[in-house]
Amino acid sequence: MAESDIYRQYIIDLYKNPVNYGKLARCNRRAEASNPLCGDEITVYVREADGKIAGISFEGQGCAISRAASCVATELVKGKTVKEALAISDEQVISALGVAVSAARLKCALLGISTIRAALSKVGAGRVKKTGRKKQPA
C-alpha cells in the first residue's frame, strides 16, 4: 500500500520528535519560507563559523513529509562547508529521506532544503546580528 511506503515508522517518529528542531542560539544566518497552499511555514537558523555549518536548526508548521525531510536535510548539511552544503541536491535529500515521494508532495519534501539554501545564499539580509534572538512573527 502506498501509505505504508511513505508513512514509515521513522517518518512518523521524526514528525513527532523532530531532530534539529527549535530556535538556535547564536545563529548568524536565517531564512523563512512558506507554502501558502498547504499552510506550511518554516524558519531555518544557521550558525556559520569559519565557512562551516557549526549549527543548524529549523522550526515551523508542516506535514509529516515536510518536517521529516527538514530533519534529514539539516542532518545532511551539518558540519559541511557552505559550498558543500549548497551542492547537496534535491535527489540526495529525497534519497536520504528513504521513501517514494509523489509529485504532489515533492514541494513538502523540498521545503526544508530550499530554505536552508536560501539561508546559506543570503549574505546580507539573512544574517542575524549577535545572538539570533530576533523576534519571530507569531
Helix (H, G, I), strand (E, B) or coil at 8: coil
In 3D, which of 48, 50, 42, 104 has the Cα closest to residue 73?
42
- Binding status of residue 49 toward other proteins by CB under 8 A: no
Q: Is residue 33 a contact residue for other proteins (CB under 8 A)?
A: no
**Among 15, 34, 92, 118, which residue sits at the site for other proteins (rule: CB under 8 A)?**
15
For position 39 contacting other proteins by CB under 8 A, the verdict is yes
Does position 6 interact with other proteins (CB under 8 A)? The reply is yes
**Among 19, 33, 38, 88, interactor with other proteins by CB under 8 A:** 38
Please give the radius of gyration of the chain, using alpha carbons only, rounded to the nearest integer.
14
DSSP letter at 103? G
Can you tell me whether residue 113 is helix, strand or coil?
helix
- Site residue total, other proteins (CB under 8 A): 20
Q: Which of 19, 54, 64, 106 binds other proteins (CB under 8 A)?
A: 64
Which residues on neighbouring strands pair with residue 45, listed in sequence order? Answer: 30, 57
Under the binding rule (CB under 8 A), the answer on residue 50 touching other proteins is: no
Length of the chain: 138
Q: Is 61 in the site for other proteins (CB under 8 A)?
A: yes
Query: Looking only at residues 70 through 129 of this chain, which bind other proteins when binding is defined by CB under 8 A?
Result: 105, 108
Type of residue at 4:
S
